[in-house]
Amino acid sequence: MMNNPTGNLINGYLRNDGRKGIRNVLLIAYLVECAHFVADEIAAGFDKQSVQVIGFGGCYPNEHANRVMKSLCTHPNVGGVLLLSLGCESFNRNKLQQYIENSGRPVSTIVIQESGGTKKSIAEGKERASTILNQIQFVRRVPMSISEIVVGTICGGSDATSGITANPAVGLAFDKLVETGATVMFEETGEMIGLENHMIQRALTPELGIELKNAIIKAARYYTKMGHGSFAPGNADGGLSTIEEKSMGAYSKSGQSPISGLIKPGDLPGKGGLYLLDVVPDGEPRFGFPNINDSAEIAELMACGCHVILFTTGRGSVVGSAISPVIKICANPETYKRMEDDMDINAGKILSEGITLDEIADEIIKKIGDTASGTPTCSEALGHREFVLTYKSFEPIGPACLPV
Amino acid sequence: MMDNNRQTMMLNIGDNVVTCTQTLSQGEEVMINGTMVGLKSNVWLGHKLAARAIAKGELIIKYGVPIGTATENIALGDHVHTHNITSNYIPTFLHD
C-alpha cells in the first residue's frame, strides 16, 4: 500500500471490472438534446458532487459518440447511470444500457415519450436516481496508489507565460509520475504542428514514430482545410504571435519521457507510460473543427480513462468537468491575482517569486494526491460540471500505435 | 537560460527574442544582450522583445526553434508580435 505524497491514504472505489475510481458519481446521461432539459431537472435536486449530467446532443447515429458514451458511463469515477432518452432518437439506448449492466453498475433508462412527458419523467427520474444513489454508496473502498491514477493534461486560454511556467511544470510532473509507473496522456495534435520531427525521436519504436508524425501531418492538413489554426485572439493578446510559438509551449506539457503509444478517444492504454491522444478525426474533414472547445477535449481524455485533468491556463479559464476533477494550474501571476478563486496552483510564482519548475511540479503531484483523497478542486467546489461531445469519425488504431 | 534579469528572459541560447517577465512601460530602460534600450511602447508580461536587429524575412527564434518570420525590419528592443512577424504554417486569427 502506498500513501500519496501528502500522507493521506487514497481510498479508491473498486469497480466490478477491477478498475479503481477517485469519485463515485451517479451519471445522468441524455441520449439526444431533446432529453437534456429533463436530465438537468432531475439532477437539480441533488448534490452537484454526487449527481452529474453528460450527454450527446445529436439525433443522428455516430460511432465515435457511441464509443465515448460507453467509455464514460463505465468510467472508474462513475458508480451508476441513469439514461435519459426522448424515445425516437437514433442512439441505441438498449445497447448502451446492456454495456453498462455488463460492467456491473446499476443502470436504469427513462424514455420520456413512454413515461408521459416532462413532469412525469422528472418525478420518475428523481426516484430512480435516489435508488441508484443508495445502491452505490456501499461500493467497496480499496487502497489506491498515486501510480494507479490516470492523468491527462490540456491547456486552455494559453498565453506566452503558459509555455515557460505551467506547461513545463506539468511536463516535469508527468516525468515524475511516469517514473512511478503511472499512465499519463497529452493531446492537441493541432498544437504540435512543426514539432513532428522532435516527437519521432521520443517514440518507443520507429514504427510508432511514423504513426506520431502522421498524426501531426493529419492535424496540419485538417486545420488548414478548416482555414483556422488552433489559435484564439486571446492567445495573441497574451503575447503568442503564431501557432508554432503556441505549439512549443503546449508541447512542453508532455515532459521528456519516451512516448509509449498513440491512442484515439475511447482507447484505454493497458500499461503505464506517456501517451499521445490523437483527437483529430480520420478521413476527409466532415463535422467541422476537431475540438470545438476545451470541454470537448476533456471529454475525450476522460474517455481514455483519465481520473483527473491537469488544466494549464495563462489568460484564465474557469471550466471544470463532469466525472473527473480538473486541477487548474495558472501560468500567469497577474491572472492568478485576478482569478485566484478558480485556480488550484499558481505556477506564475516561477516568474514573480523565483520558485523553481521542480517545486511547482511537486505541488502538482501533491494536489493530485489530495484530489484523489477526496478534496474538491476549485472548479469542483464552485460547481463547474461542463461537458461537450460532438460528431467525429475515427479509424481504429493500428498495431504500431501500442508497441507494449 | 541566459542573460536573464528582472525584466526579461531568453529561453534558449541563440534566440533572437526575449520574453518579458513583467509588464513594461513605454520609455522604460531594459537591458537586452548587454545593451540598454528604451522601450518604444508598452509591452505586457509574456510578450517578446527583439534581442538584436532582425531583418525582414529572417526567422524568429524562440525556445531555440523558428516560431515565424519577420514581415518587416525589427530593431533591437522592439516589441515582436503579430504586427511584425507571421506564421510559417497557418495564419493567426485576430479580432479586427
B57-92 per-position pLDDT tens digit:
999 999 988 999 999 999 999 999 999 999 988 888
The pLDDT, as a whole number, for residue B10 is 92
> Does A351 sit within 8 Å of B21, measured CB to CB?
yes
Instruction: With respect to residue A6, please indicate whether it lies within any of the assigned structural domains.
Output: no
Cell of A34: 431533446
CATH number at residue A82: 3.40.50.2300
| A172 plus A44 within the same structural domain | no
The pLDDT, as a whole number, for residue A232 is 86
| A129 plus A270 within the same structural domain | no
Residue B6 has pLDDT above 80, yes or no: no
Cα of A257 to nearest chain B Cα, Å: 19
End residue of a domain, out of A99, A119, A138: A138
Beta-sheet strand order (sheet of A259-263): A259-263, A273-277, A183-186, A151-155, A308-313, A326-330, A345-346
Using DSSP, how many helices (H) and how many strands (E) does chain A show? 15, 14
Instruction: With respect to residue B41, please indicate whether it lies within any of the assigned structural domains.
Output: yes
End residue of a domain, out of A109, A138, A167: A138
Q: Is the dihedral of CA A206, A210, A216, A219 positive or negative?
A: negative
ipTM entry: 0.92
Band of the pLDDT at A145, cuts 50, 70, 90?
very high
CATH number at residue B78: 2.30.130.110
Instruction: With respect to residue A305, please indicate whether it lies within any of the assigned structural domains.
Output: yes
Chain B residues with beta carbon closer than 8 angstroms to that of A248: 62-63, 65, 67
Instruction: With respect to residue A3, please indicate whether it lies within any of the assigned structural domains.
Output: no
| C-beta of residue A241 within 8 angstroms of C-beta of residue A277 | no
* Structural domain total, chain A: 2
pLDDT digits (tens, 9 = 90+) for A6-47: 555 799 999 999 999 999 999 999 999 999 999 999 999 899
Residue of B25, B83, B59, B75 whose CA lies nearest to A239: B83
The mean pLDDT of chain A is 95
> Does A233 sit within 8 Å of B89, measured CB to CB?
no
| A166 plus A293 within the same structural domain | yes
Instruction: With respect to residue B51, please indicate whether it lies within any of the assigned structural domains.
Output: yes
pLDDT digits (tens, 9 = 90+) for A163-197: 999 999 999 999 999 999 999 999 989 888 888 88
Residue B1 has pLDDT above 70, yes or no: no
Instruction: With respect to residue B20, please indicate whether it lies within any of the assigned structural domains.
Output: yes
Residue of A332, A248, A159 whose CA lies nearest to B81: A159
> Domain containing B44: what range?
8-86
Residue A2 has pLDDT above 80, yes or no: no
User: Which of B20, B45, B95 lies closest to A233 in CB terms?
Assistant: B95
The pLDDT, as a whole number, for residue B91 is 80
Question: What percent of chain B lies above the pLDDT cut of 70?
Answer: 95
> Does B82 sit within 8 Å of A161, measured CB to CB?
no
pLDDT digits (tens, 9 = 90+) for A257-310: 999 999 999 999 999 999 999 999 999 999 999 999 999 999 999 999 999 999
User: Which of B45, B66, B87 lies closest to A161 in CB terms?
Assistant: B45
* Mean pLDDT computed over A136-141: 95
| A107 plus A201 within the same structural domain | no
Band of the pLDDT at B2, cuts 50, 70, 90?
very low
Chain A residues with beta carbon closer than 8 angstroms to that of B45: 161, 239, 332-334, 351
End residue of a domain, out of A112, A138, A164: A138
* Structural domain total, chain B: 1
| A113 plus A252 within the same structural domain | no
| Test mutation, B63, B72, B84, chain A, max A CBs within 10 A | B63
Q: Is the dihedral of CA B94, A296, A389, A120 positive or negative?
A: negative
> Domain containing A262: what range?
146-401
The mean pLDDT of chain B is 91
The pLDDT, as a whole number, for residue A198 is 86
